[in-house]
Amino acid sequence: MSDELLRIEDLSIDLPIGGEPRTVVSELSLAIGAGEAVGMVGESGSGKSMTAKAIIGLLPRGARTSGKILFDGTDVLGLRGAELRRYRAQSVAMVFQDPRAAINPVRTIDDFMTEALRDVRGMAAPAARAKAVELLTEVSIGDPERVLTNYPHELSGGMLQRVMIAAMVAQEPRLLLADEPTTALDVTTQAEVITILARLREQHGMALLFITHDLDLAGAICDRTAVMYAGGIVEEQGSAEINEHPRHPYSAALLRCRPSLSQQGGRLAAIEGQPVAAFEAPAGCRFAPRCEYAQDACRVAVPALRPVGGAMVACIRAEELGPLTLLDDTPVAINHATPRQPAEETTPESAATQALVTVTDLRKEFALRGGGRFAAVEGLSFTVKAGGSLAIVGESGAGKSTVARMLMGLERPTNGTIMAMGEDRSGPAHGRATRLRRASQIQMVFQDPYLSLDPRQRVGEVLDESLRLHKRMTRDERRTRVAELLEVIGMSARPAASVPAQLSGGQRQRVAIARALAAEPRLIILDEAVSALDVSMQAQILNLLTDIRERTGVAYILISHDLGVVNYLTEAIIVMRRGEVVEAGDTGTIVTAPTEPYTQRLLACVPRPGWTPPARQPLALSPTAPSA
């Protein structure tokens, strides 16, 4: 390893949770060399982001720490006032998952980019602007002069993330912390951001701590990877080695969860149970309750991180188990209750021929700022049969979500027709009864369940409200049906009294699916419904969706940029680019043998073992339609 830049020694972090201090990071130790890239991988709640915030000195109020974080020999935990500000301005910088949350929406990109250059580095305004143009060019943004005049809402998520990276590089940090910087991006933009980070690291000699839940992604950019679970590191070794020969059962389980480009249908090897925080962990090995290799001895004491076969592993059976295989057919534990059939039951014979939705020559235009019109969707036609599944894929701005909004009646098409359940839905729905009938037939599950669920409503109230809206039931009948729905989604009755903030991301998405099922729809639109989940929770939700479809005959339209998920869940696919269909047909055929260069590029950008992101030309600002 190169000269050591950062050393974390026995770091523990307690946060005030429920009125008392709770441990979220426990005795963590890690070193990063100058110019080295280290990945930090694990499920939500493992302590990854809290570790990064401790490194940069951004822990929330009331946090308590012990141990050391040594940056060039100086303990960061002891810095205060001007020393801490100097450290953040000159030594370390952080790129967050959502750039919109970190950039002031009422200031131009010029203001955001040049502020630090003027205030910290003492540049005059013209020199700062020239440097900003240079930095935007360096992160592959075309027409940087024009971009500087824009406000954050006028840029796509991928372009705004590039701006964020450029602004952090402007500080010339020696260590860049990247906290899930690509999670919300489509695969091509993700590949571009990864390429940019790798190039900037090489050009500027920066060290990088890359936080993600995707081991393949960490392997594409990082020299070493540390896998975290419940506040501690359970395995650390070279990124290529950990992807091919994991030595901790948790690392292997994460790798098995991934939907691949070679698996269509069947069941994913999801990890049983839910991830836990450090303060929720049981005695002994924290992963033992979910581990297929656990023995009684594993539940006695927390295993130490120790060298085993060229890796650092926290498992008392590491030598005995050796490098773990990634082939596993163990199904996820989901409660397979049989839900109530839809109001209009679909038989196998009718499912083969009955068209639920037929879209013909659909077009949607939006007005552009400053005049003119922009076609977000152009000439789109497709059919979804009862019990079938269709994927609509493409980069951000391809028009996928606009199609979903038109199917739901939230947008009216400019031209073309939408026939659904034998009814023309191209025009507005007149009357409450018509709107409710249409809503009960087509439901939607969104990407972020926390935003789509009322944070004040308990889970039972969310499901009861949907039943009151769409079904004629007594209170007792609704109470029974709520319990049935919770059973269908693999949750006990206990979470019915919880609000969304008390649930994990995977549990919240299960509730969103249950709310959609409450209406007994014929079609469910899944708009990036698993893209923000950890791979383990994603596998559980995908298995759940497969179970629901088999038992109810519901059809799916899946909007996604993840071709592994698409290949697993759907039989037909439409590839869109800038509102137009590029390629369409059988999912398995297109995923294995695409004919169009654009589809080939999408597939080339899917992270997998040994993957390196393809290069791309600079990204220029282009008009996009709202919610496209």
Q: Read off the pLDDT of residues 391-434 as tens digits, 9 standing for 90 and up.
A: 999 887 788 989 999 999 888 999 999 999 888 988 887 888 88
> 597-604 and 187-204 are packed helices; what angle lies between their axes, rounded to 10 degrees?
60
626: phi > 0 → left, psi -120 to 50 → alpha, else beta; which?
Answer: beta
Domain locations along the chain = 4-91+173-253, 358-604
Mean per-residue pLDDT pooled into runs of 10, the chain (628 residues): 86 90 95 95 90 94 95 94 91 87 89 87 90 89 89 83 88 92 81 86 92 88 95 95 94 88 78 86 94 94 94 95 67 31 41 76 85 88 94 88 90 92 85 85 85 88 92 91 86 76 78 90 90 83 89 92 89 93 93 92 83 60 39
Number of H helices, E strands in the chain: 22, 22
Distance, in Å, from the CA atom of 57 to the CA atom of 51, rounded to the nearest integer, reads: 10
Say whether 79 sits in a helix, a strand or coil: coil
Q: H or E stretch including 365?
A: strand 355-367
> 109-119 and 125-138 are packed helices; what angle lies between their axes, rounded to 10 degrees?
120
Query: Do strands 442-445 and 523-527 pair parallel, antiparallel, or not at all (unpaired)?
Result: parallel
pLDDT of residue 341: 36
Distance, in Å, from the CA atom of 80 to the CA atom of 261, rounded to the nearest integer, reads: 50
The closest alpha carbon to 233, from 225, 222, 243, 241, belongs to 225
Is there a contact between 582 and 598 (Cβ–Cβ < 8 Å)?
yes
Angle at 226 between CA 225 and CA 231, to 5 degrees: 155
Is there a contact between 26 and 89 (Cβ–Cβ < 8 Å)?
no
Distance, in Å, from the CA atom of 589 to the CA atom of 231, rounded to the nearest integer, reads: 43
Output the six-digit token pair for 473.
Answer: 């039931």
The fold adopted by the segment(s) 358-604 is Rossmann fold (3.40.50)
Is there a contact between 70 and 109 (Cβ–Cβ < 8 Å)?
no
The closest alpha carbon to 178, from 48, 60, 67, 75, belongs to 48
pLDDT of residue 348: 43
pLDDT of residue 333: 30
The fold adopted by the segment(s) 4-91+173-253 is Rossmann fold (3.40.50)
Per-residue pLDDT tens over the stretch 161-186? 889 988 888 888 999 999 988 877 78
Output the six-digit token pair for 99.
Answer: 């750039």
pLDDT of residue 56: 95
Burial classification of residue 313, based on how many CB atoms lie within 10 Å of its CB (0-12 exposed, 13-18 middle, 19 or more buried)? buried
pLDDT of residue 4: 92
pLDDT of residue 6: 97
The closest alpha carbon to 606, from 266, 263, 261, belongs to 261
Distance, in Å, from the CA atom of 586 to the CA atom of 567, rounded to the nearest integer, reads: 10
Q: H or E stretch including 356?
A: strand 355-367
For the residues of 532-595, what is the DSSP string, one character each? TS-HHHHHHHHHHHHHHHHHH--EEEEEES-HHHHHHH-SEEEEEETTEEEEEEEHHHHHHS--
Fold matches, 4-91+173-253 and 358-604: yes
Residues 6+ apart with CB under 8 A from 105: 151, 152, 153
Whole-number Cα distances in Å, 326 to 248, 261, 329, 583: 12, 15, 10, 33
Is there a contact between 313 and 234 (Cβ–Cβ < 8 Å)?
yes
Say whether 396 sits in a helix, a strand or coil: coil
The closest alpha carbon to 228, from 63, 501, 11, 510, belongs to 11
pLDDT of residue 493: 66
Is there a contact between 93 and 38 (Cβ–Cβ < 8 Å)?
no
Distance, in Å, from the CA atom of 56 to the CA atom of 34, rounded to the nearest integer, reads: 16
Q: How far is CA 392 from the centre of its chain?
A: 18
